């Protein structure tokens, strides 16, 4: 605006007055957060801002009741205020923001918004000190921050921290438009720690784990009558100390029914391999074999004691016996040794579509490409592939069910003795005493290579026991063993291989499996009949 001119009443001279100051520009509600980042993106380190955080925050039980309640109320109101703000932001922008702040990004949208709100109030959780790639995320069931990383490719990190080290949340200027709907930034980074309720009497963490619940159950593969955490039963057990919760809740739970162990699923020998009898098309289809002679059939497992996971996944690409343009992709999954799980069969009218279905599923489950399976590498959080041996079956060209001893040149008395020695039910009975699952075992027979790898893990554990190994090392080795050799623990957690007696028991199991493999090999002769007798060890 032009300057305002007035007249001096004494000297009668014009006086040029300065223009009025311009109105203040509206301050961007994100300016404080922009300062966390350089123009080129996030600053190389946010460690300097950690100096503003208290080194030793007061514990919740050191606060007075009124002071703690006031903090809890303030905390809850701020979280819900931020939740309402982030609900208006595009999910992709939230993911980008979390990645820019080196945070773990959940796949579930609701958890994504809650994690962003948590970081906006308290700061972004830092790296886990126990594993190389872990980041913390608040777990509402356990009411604490849990690491989402992996100690190794076989074992999930179990480290928890109620108040992990944090870095104040920052927003890069490049995201100004995407984050423009977040208005109440005055709340952001306003609290340096999370407050928790304190229980009188015996220490009880709100939401402490009530019992070991299988990972498959937690994923909803079982009925939802089960109680997952203490948070679910606080009204039922208001005064039970945390150390007694597993026993108390176990008494409330319905008895879990094990899968029947006396009746097996019929399997069909078709063109040198086995078709899973669970597939509704098993009697009219066979496993597809490509031009290189490779069968499109796989068995996957995943055992993780940290999450009580003991899963299997079986998949086959089947081709109709008579109609060339009909294909099926059969998938079966669940918890080893239980009724928990399911199956599905997807029909396809073209081989290409069936192959894409099979290959994509394999990559999704394992993190490996099917073409590279000979160089299979276990990936963190993914399933392991079980190395199966179909060599005995491939030598048989006949389809259908084979009765052991139905075709042989042996004398009747020797025949009877051999059939008793190599009786399938005798094998099953002997192996069940080792908790080996004989009903949900993958199709085919565990290869000698698979057994050798498992035996190597046991030798590694025996060496560990000579010193004082860390618990994480024992868990990792136990996970590897149970992924290589599927076991039936029902809904109970897998047994920790942490004593000399348990390791010796499992070593005996592997030796028995190897002896059975040798025994079956002894049954193999040059003629077709002996090959068929070798097959009986894997028939259900």
Residue 371 pLDDT = 92
Strand partners, 152: none
The answer to whether residues 344 and 243 belong to one domain is: no
Predicted local distance difference test score (pLDDT) of residue 30 = 54
Let me know if residue 438 belongs to a domain.
Answer: yes
Evaluate whether 153 touches 380 at the Cβ level (below 8 Å).
yes
Of 447 and 485, which is predicted with more confidence? 485
Instruction: Give the residue with greater pLDDT, 420 vs 522.
Output: 522
> Could you tell me which of 79, 273, 326 has the C-alpha nearest to residue 188?
79
Give the model's pLDDT for residue 4: 54
Whether 413 shows a pLDDT value over 80: the answer reads: no
- The answer for 359, left when phi > 0, alpha when psi is -120 to 50, beta otherwise, is alpha
Long-range contacts of 222-226 (CB under 8 A, 24+ apart): 222/340, 225/254, 226/253, 226/254
Give the pLDDT of residue 247.
Answer: 44
CA distances from 222 to 216, 225, 227, 412 (A): 7, 9, 12, 50
pLDDT category of residue 39 using cuts at 50, 70 and 90: very low
How many CA atoms are closer than 13 Å to the CA of 109, on its beta-carbon side?
8
Determine phi and psi for 137, rounding to 5 degrees.
-140, 140
Is 191 part of a structural domain of the chain? no
Same domain, 403 and 433: yes
Say whether both 241 and 304 belong to one domain: no
Q: Which residue has the tokens 């949900």?
A: 440
Q: Which pLDDT does position 264 carry in this prediction?
A: 44
Over residues 84-99, the pLDDT tens digits come to 888 888 899 899 989 9
pLDDT of residue 469: 83
Residue appearing with tokens 């005996």? 508
Asked if the model's pLDDT at residue 233 lies above 60, the reply is: no
Are residues 220 and 322 located together in one domain of the fold? no
What pLDDT score does 450 carry?
Answer: 83
Spatial separation of the C-alpha atoms in residues 46 and 36, rounded to whole Å:
8
**503 membership: H or E segment, kind and range:** helix 500-523
- Asked if 404 and 419 count as a contact pair (C-beta separation under 8 A), the reply is yes
Residue 284's nearest CA partner among 297, 300, 268, 299 is 268
Burial class of residue 433 (count of CB atoms within 10 Å of its CB; 0-12, 13-18, 19+)? exposed
Q: Is the pLDDT of residue 22 over 80?
A: no
Identify the DSSP state of 465: T
294 with 358, same domain: the answer is: yes
d(CA 329, CA 276): 11
Task: State the DSSP code for 532.
Answer: H
Both 230 and 349 in one domain: the answer is no
Q: How many whole angstroms separate alpha carbon 261 and alpha carbon 259?
A: 6
Q: Whole-number mean pLDDT of the chain?
A: 72
Q: Can you give the CATH number for the domain in which 396 is found?
A: 1.20.142.10
Residue 107 has φ and ψ, to the nearest 5°, of -85, -25
| Both structure tokens of 495 | 């047994």
Residues paired with residue 329 on neighbouring β-strands, in sequence order: 317, 346
**Res 201: pLDDT:** 39
What confidence score (pLDDT) does residue 522 get?
Answer: 60
Confidence of residue 152 (pLDDT cuts 50, 70, 90): confident
Q: What is the mean pLDDT of residues 332-351?
A: 90
Q: Which residue has the tokens 């290189």?
A: 292
Separation between Cα atoms, residue 490 and residue 308, nearest integer Å: 11
Residue 21 maps to a domain = no
Contacts of 224 (CB under 8 A, 6+ apart): none
Provide the pLDDT for residue 158.
83
Q: Which residues of 355-371 are buried (b: 16+ CB within 10 A; e: fewer)?
A: bebbeebbeebbbbebe
Q: Kindly report, residue by residue over 350-379, the tens digit of the pLDDT.
A: 999 999 999 999 999 999 999 999 889 999
pLDDT value for 37: 54
State the pLDDT at residue 225: 37
Contact between residue 15 and residue 21 where contact means Cβ atoms under 8 Å apart: no
* Beta carbons of 522 and 414 less than 8 angstroms apart: no
Could you write out the DSSP letters of every residue in 181-219? T---TTSTT--SS------SSS---TT-B-S---HHIII
pLDDT band at 119 (very low <50, low <70, confident <90, very high): very high
Count of domains observed in the chain: 2
Identify whether residues 228 and 363 lie together within a single domain: no
Reported in sequence order, the residue ranges of 140-197 that DSSP labels E, i.e. its strands, are 144-147, 160-161, 166-167
Q: In this predicted model, what pLDDT tens digit does every residue of 166-201 receive, in sequence order?
A: 888 888 777 777 777 776 557 788 888 899 887 543
Last residue of a domain, one of 226, 251, 276: 251
104 in a structural domain: no
- What's the Cα-to-Cα distance from 344 to each of 217, 293, 315, rounded to whole Å? 19, 26, 10
Residue 286 lies in a domain: yes
Write phi, then psi, for 192 (nearest 5 degrees). Answer: -100, -5
* Position 402 in a domain: yes
Mapping DSSP to helix (H, G, I), strand (E, B) and coil, where does residue 270 land? strand
- Find the largest Cα–Cα distance for the chain: 142
Report whether pLDDT(138) > 60: yes
Cβ neighbour number for residue 449 with a 10 Å cutoff: 10
Do 394 and 285 share a domain, yes or no?
Answer: yes
Pairing relationship of beta strands 309-320 and 297-304 according to DSSP bridges: antiparallel
Q: Does residue 526 belong to any structural domain of this protein?
A: yes
pLDDT in tens, 55-70: 445 555 567 788 888 8
Host domain of residue 272: 268-538
| Residues 505 and 360 both lie in one domain | yes
Query: Higher model confidence: residue 493 or residue 409?
Result: 493
Residue 327 banded pLDDT, cuts 50, 70, 90: very high
Residue with the bigger pLDDT between 390 and 308: it is 308
The residue with greater pLDDT, 124 or 57, is 124
Query: For residues 211 and 521, which has the higher predicted lDDT (pLDDT)?
Result: 521
- pLDDT > 60? residue 256: no
Tokens of 102: 């080196």
pTM given for the model: 0.62
Regarding predicted confidence, which is higher, 7 or 325? 325
Report the range of poorest mean pLDDT among 46-55, 132-141, 482-491.
46-55
Domain match, 275 and 247 both? no
- What is the reported pLDDT for 415? 52
Q: pLDDT tens, 273-293?
A: 788 888 999 889 999 999 888
The owner of tokens 């499996």 is 513
Assess contact for 125 and 137: CB atoms under 8 A: yes
Could you count the other beta carbons within 10 Å of the beta carbon of residue 158?
17
pLDDT at 484: 86
Do 327 and 219 share a structural domain?
no
Tell whether 186 is covered by a domain.
Answer: no
Higher pLDDT, 119 or 437: 119
**Residue 343 confidence (pLDDT):** 92
> Sorting pLDDT into bands at 50, 70 and 90, what band is 141?
confident
pLDDT beyond 90 at 328: yes
What six digits make up the tokens of 391? Answer: 């060599």
Write the CA distances from 213 to 174, 227, 309, 446, integer angstroms.
Answer: 44, 9, 9, 28
Tell me: do 220 and 288 sit in the same domain: no
The pLDDT-based confidence of 15 (bands split at 50, 70, 90) is low
- Which DSSP symbol is given to 278? T
pLDDT of res. 222: 40
Rounded CA-CA distance 302/336 in Å is 10
């Amino acid at each position: 605006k032009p300057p305002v001119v007035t007249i001096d009443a004494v000297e009668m001279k014009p006086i040029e007055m300065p223009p009025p100051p311009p109105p203040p520009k509206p301050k961007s509600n994100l300016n404080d957060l922009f300062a966390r980042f350089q123009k080129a993106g996030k600053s190389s380190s946010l460690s300097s801002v950690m100096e503003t955080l208290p080194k030793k925050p007061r514990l919740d039980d050191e606060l007075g009741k009124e002071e703690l309640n006031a903090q809890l109320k303030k905390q809850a109101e701020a979280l819900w205020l931020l939740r309402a703000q982030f609900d208006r932001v595009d999910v992709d922008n939230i993911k980008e923001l979390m990645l820019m702040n080196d945070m773990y990004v959940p796949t579930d949208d609701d958890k994504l918004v809650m994690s962003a709100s948590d970081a906006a109030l308290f700061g972004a959780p830092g790296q886990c000190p126990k594993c190389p790639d872990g980041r913390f995320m608040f777990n509402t069931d356990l009411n604490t921050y849990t690491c989402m990383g992996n100690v190794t490719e076989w074992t999930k990190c179990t480290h928890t921290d109620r108040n992990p080290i944090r870095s104040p949340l920052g927003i890069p200027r490049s995201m100004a438009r995407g984050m423009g709907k977040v208005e109440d930034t005055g709340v952001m980074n306003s609290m340096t720690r999370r407050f928790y309720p304190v229980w009188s009497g015996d220490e009880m963490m709100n939401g402490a784990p009530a019992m070991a619940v299988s990972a498959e159950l937690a994923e909803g593969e079982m009925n939802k009558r089960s109680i997952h955490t203490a948070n679910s039963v606080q009204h039922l057990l208001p005064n039970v100390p945390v150390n007694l919760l597993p026993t108390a809740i176990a008494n409330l739970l319905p008895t879990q029914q094990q899968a029947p162990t006396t009746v097996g699923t019929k399997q069909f020998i078709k063109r040198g391999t086995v078709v899973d009898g669970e597939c509704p098309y098993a009697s009219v289809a066979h496993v597809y074999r490509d031009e290189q002679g490779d069968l499109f059939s796989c068995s996957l497992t995943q055992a993780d004691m940290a999450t009580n996971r003991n899963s299997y996944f079986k998949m086959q690409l089947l081709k109709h016996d008579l109609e060339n343009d009909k294909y099926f992709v059969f998938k079966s999954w669940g918890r080893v040794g239980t009724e928990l799980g399911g199956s599905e069969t997807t029909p396809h009218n073209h081989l290409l579509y069936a192959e894409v279905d099979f290959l994509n599923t394999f990559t999704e489950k394992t993190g490996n490409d099917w073409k590279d399976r000979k160089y299979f590498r276990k990936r963190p959080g993914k399933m392991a592939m079980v190395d199966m041996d179909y060599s005995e079956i491939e030598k048989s060209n006949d389809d259908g069910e084979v009765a052991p001893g139905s075709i042989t040149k042996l004398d009747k008395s020797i025949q009877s003795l051999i059939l008793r020695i190599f009786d399938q039910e005798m094998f099953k009975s002997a192996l069940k005493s080792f908790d080996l699952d004989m009903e949900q075992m993958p199709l085919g027979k565990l290869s000698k290579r698979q057994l050798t790898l498992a035996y190597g893990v046991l030798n590694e554990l025996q060496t560990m026991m000579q010193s004082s190994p860390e618990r994480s090392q024992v868990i990792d080795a136990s996970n590897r063993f149970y992924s290589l050799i599927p076991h039936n623990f029902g809904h109970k957690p897998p047994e920790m291989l942490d004593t000399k007696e348990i390791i010796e028991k499992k070593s005996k199991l592997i030796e028995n499996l190897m002896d059975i493999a040798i025994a079956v090999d002894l049954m193999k002769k040059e003629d077709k009949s002996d090959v068929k007798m070798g097959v009986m060890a894997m028939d259900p």
